[in-house]
Amino acid sequence: MGGEGSMMAANNSLKNNRSMLSKRKGKSLGLIAKSNYKTEYNLPKAKPEDIKRLRDKLQQEQRLSRIKSIILFLVIFIILIVILIFLNN
């Protein structure tokens, strides 16, 4: 029957991968430290008026982005309608 050589190669590949996996478990990447040390940051406390100003600014940006998306969609939609009307005549 055909395919016996390919099955043997697949079995050998699996066996080799399994043996390499057991060798790898003891090693670490070296660049990554395995410690429980947590970096502490000294961030300034935000004032309520700063938070409100930031929230208002983000809402305004989101509103403008939404308006731009709607306008772009409408322009493309109108162009497609005009093209379809032109092609049907």
pLDDT score of 57 more than 60: yes
pLDDT, tens only, 12-34: 999 988 888 767 655 555 555 55
Residue 88 domain-assigned?
A: yes
Name the phi and psi angles at 36, rounded to 5.
-95, 10
Q: What does the block give as tokens for 8? A: 């043997």
Residue 15 domain-assigned?
A: no
Would the pTM of this model clear 0.85, i.e. be above it? Answer: no
Instruction: Residue 83: give the domain boundaries.
Output: 48-89
Q: What does the block give as tokens for 6? A: 């390919």
Residue 27 domain-assigned?
A: no
Residue 33 domain-assigned?
A: no
User: Which positions ≥6 away from 34 have C-beta within 8 Å?
Assistant: 28
Number of domains in the chain: 1
Residue 57 domain-assigned?
A: yes
Give the residue, 89 or 65, on which the prediction is more confident.
65
pLDDT of residue 33: 56
Residue 62 domain-assigned?
A: yes
Residue 29 domain-assigned?
A: no
